[in-house]
A = this chain, B = another copy of it.
């Protein structure tokens, strides 16, 4: 039997009625002849409630206990989904992470899946079980303790199962009906994409389009898992949603696939740093140790042996970043005159694999923004992406202008 992986997020299983609704969707795939692995999240609100308990109990909590506590929401959904399927005469059973087992690293609260031995579940499929309902987001460490994969980790669970079981496809059911050229709440011309390349999705996911956890896309790309994003709240055909796939599977596409944004960015500049080999390591080593997600990095031209070093990070990490920088200064490792912090910037990015073969995409972007009177503060580029930092108040305008200029509303 071909195997299909179907993943349902928290809003898709928020009530017993919704569980029944998505169970019917699973039944449709079983009727088509698939053996199905269903990955479920906790009923929406449950994980937040449990995280709240942990935070209220302990400020610097033991991540091993955090994992043991917050993983329980998925176990409840998995059992309820199995019962619901059984009620519909679909042979099903639930699996908790340790039962599969989903073997992970020991990095509690942000563990990575290392191996999913398929033997146990395959044997049950052979014995006539049609659906394995697996609690997402969790696994077991080499020490036999429960681990979790970080928020949104159930997407990664789903892709990892699809890879381990060589599934025909991995369908991610969520509360949106696919991946859009940009956020429809900001730009009403946003258009749903039928297909998007892994590389593009990866850039969009990491740029703040929160449809899929970044790690799940990386994993899908590495193991060539066909990933489909679709809504659990609508009747679905086989062509619904957005297929995330290899770029060879996309016949014709726009040069730019989408415009992404990230609202809560901050720009920090170390002013007049004494320029010598190793200064980047001296700055970004301690920042990494402090858990700062440094995104863009710009080093200005050196004058008189001194340079400015600029980087961006999420606004809620600014305080921690400042503390780390004070530490660097105090250590005497680095000499600089001061730190400029701008907390009112946003990041806008255009993404598309077509950029590889089309020149002039970046300059067109800059021209569009310039025509709107938007000043660019920082630029970074990759093979398939151009990102800029701009003043946050221009964010919506920038997204809309770029969407128009690259004609993303047209297929």
What is the 8 Å Cβ interface bit string for chain A, positions 98-122, against chain B (1 contact, 0 not)? 1100000000000000000000000
B80-A53 in contact (CB<8A): yes
A83-B99 in contact (CB<8A): no
Considering only residues 49-85 of chain A, those with a C-beta below 8 Å from chain B are 50, 53-54, 56-58, 61-62, 64-66, 68-69, 71-73, 75-76, 78-80, 82-84
Q: State the oligomeric state as a number of copies.
A: 2
B-chain residues with CB within 8 Å of residue A69 when the two chains form the complex:
75-76, 79-80, 83
In Å, the complex CA distance between A61 and B64 comes to 32
Interface size on A, residues (CB 8 A): 36
- A134 to chain B minimum Cβ distance, whole angstroms, is 12
In Å, the complex CA distance between A62 and B86 comes to 8
Contact of A83 among B19, B62, B79, B86 (CB under 8 A): B62
Question: Are A65 and B79 also in contact (CB < 8 A) when A87-B58, A98-B98 are?
Answer: yes
Q: State whether the Cβ of A93 lies closer than 8 Å to any Cβ in chain B.
A: yes
A94-B76 in contact (CB<8A): no
Q: State whether the Cβ of A145 lies closer than 8 Å to any Cβ in chain B.
A: yes
- A120 to chain B minimum Cβ distance, whole angstroms, is 9
- A157 to chain B minimum Cβ distance, whole angstroms, is 17
In Å, the complex CA distance between A80 and B69 comes to 7
Considering only residues 158-189 of chain A, those with a C-beta below 8 Å from chain B are none
B-chain residues with CB within 8 Å of residue A56 when the two chains form the complex:
16
- A283 to chain B minimum Cβ distance, whole angstroms, is 34
Q: State whether the Cβ of A277 lies closer than 8 Å to any Cβ in chain B.
A: no
Contact of A72 among B75, B84, B98 (CB under 8 A): B75
Q: State whether the Cβ of A272 lies closer than 8 Å to any Cβ in chain B.
A: no
- A31 to chain B minimum Cβ distance, whole angstroms, is 21
- A18 to chain B minimum Cβ distance, whole angstroms, is 12
Would you give 13 A-B contacts (Cβ < 8 Å), ordered by A? A19-B57, A53-B76, A61-B83, A62-B93, A65-B83, A66-B83, A68-B94, A69-B75, A69-B79, A72-B72, A75-B75, A96-B146, A99-B145
